[in-house]
Amino acid sequence: MHKVKLMASIGPATDDEAVFRELAKHVDGVRVNFSHGDPGEWRRRAAMARRAGLPVLGDLRGPGVRTGVLRQDLRVAAGDVVQFKLGTEGSGSVPVPVREFFSSIDVGDVLVMNDGRLKLVVEARGDDWARAVAQSSGSIGSNKSIDVKGKDYPLPVLDDHDKAALSIAVEAGFEFVGVSHVRSGRDLEDVRRALKELGGSAKLIAKMESKSALDNLDAIIDAADYVMVARGDLGMTFDLEEVPVIQQRIIDESLRRGKPVMVATQLLTSMTMNPVPTRAEVVDIMTAVKQGVDALLLTDETAVGKYPVEAVKWLERIAAKYEEESPTPPVDLALFDERMRFAQGVAKLASDMGSKIVIFTKSGLTAVRVSRFRPGVPILAATPSEEVARQLRMMWGVEAIVVKARDYGEGLEEAFSNFLGMGLITRGENVVLTYGMQDREGEHLIKVRRA
């Protein structure tokens, strides 16, 4: 059982059933990237995850700008002049199918591509064209992000592509939806409203990628169910030396405000081509774990890399080495009602006794709150909902199962019995049992039981 949860992006590298089954043994959830592939591929990959019992994150493309279709990749050297033109496809120039791109940029703006490796300075522009000079070498391909340093595009959070993807996420029962290029808490509210209109109940993951996101950090965290430090686009928006400080700030504020947080992008990027990570990558993962993250997400390493299984094994190996050193998050109790204080009390009692925690929860919130305090002992959660059980698999230190109980007392007993039968509780050890505080109850019991 992982305390720090592990998630892998799935794609062409994991489409083989045997490869996927092996990868699934080492992760707690998978990500389907709606920026690539088609609805048939998204559905098929989600079905593979469902057969493995894994939760699925559907990652929306977001209000960004991407290149159109290039007949062949455009090789660029430092000093080259690159033409951008309005259009869906092209050759020799870079097609951009979004008119707002040209109205958003100004002469002197820096365009950033390829995870920050390629930068171009705009030297002229019109209503449907722009000319920029490359400051570094690289290549420009089809469907690649174009960021403008320090700026956001004036686009709706959901375009037609993402509305269609959101519908598939609901249809396929995705447990999480990643909202890319979040600029404000209102963006999350808009996506949540659209999700509910489709009949979905997925949890929303706010991907922190832009200056606007950092300017509205508190409101975005409060509106989200989970927060992602999306380092790929952060590295395109900010100077690279700023990214570690930004990562620490997002993690600290998410934990202070009681929200789970994950780190993504380039954790093991060398393993897209090599079977062993670099020493720097090992240090990077260790740092994220010691900063207190709930989860780590691999992207290209497992979606398109040559060694997807080796990558998740290394991620598991490194995280396991340091997850016992995860700090107790500085949750600001002033931001919450008595239910968070109750969760803190349960976590402290179990931690002081060295006792496992058994929770029966219908919504999953009690287990999430207890997880916020990193009790250092297993958090064993049971719920009547299969969807909630899969969502809880992505919370720090939580192991979740489904029990079909009618009330909280019955649910707690079934949970205890099931975990005992599974060997997750050992005869003779003390266990702390509880369920969520209910407003209608005048009395609430916490049980300490010797198994």
Residue 358's CB: how many other CB atoms inside 10 A?
28
Residue 173's pLDDT is 95
Residue 443's pLDDT is 76
Contact between residue 181 and residue 63 where contact means Cβ atoms under 8 Å apart: yes
pLDDT at position 119 over 80: yes
Residue 146's pLDDT is 93
Q: Band the pLDDT of 445: cuts 50, 70, 90.
A: confident
Do the strands 110-113 and 118-125 form a parallel or antiparallel pair, or are they unpaired? antiparallel
pLDDT at position 440 over 70: no
Instruction: Assess whether 34 and 179 both reside in one domain.
Output: yes
Instruction: Assess whether 286 and 360 both reside in one domain.
Output: no
pLDDT at position 442 over 70: no
Contact between residue 267 and residue 281 where contact means Cβ atoms under 8 Å apart: yes
Instruction: Assess whether 183 and 221 both reside in one domain.
Output: yes
Instruction: Assess whether 311 and 207 both reside in one domain.
Output: yes
**Over the range 276-288, which residues count as b (16 or more CB within 10 Å of their CB) and which as e?**
ebeeebbebbeeb
CATH of the domain at 133: 2.40.33.10
Question: Interhelix angle for 39-51 vs 160-171, to 10°?
Answer: 30
Domain that holds residue 408: 333-450
Tell me the percentage of the chain whose pLDDT exceeds 90: 89
Residue 439's pLDDT is 66
Is 328 inside a domain boundary? Answer: no
**Domain boundary, last residue among 297, 323, 349:** 323
Q: Band the pLDDT of 263: cuts 50, 70, 90.
A: very high
Say which residue, 284 or 145, is predicted with more confidence: 284
Tell me the percentage of the chain whose pLDDT exceeds 70: 99
- Which of the given ranges, 208-212, 395-399, 445-449, has the highest pLDDT on average? 395-399
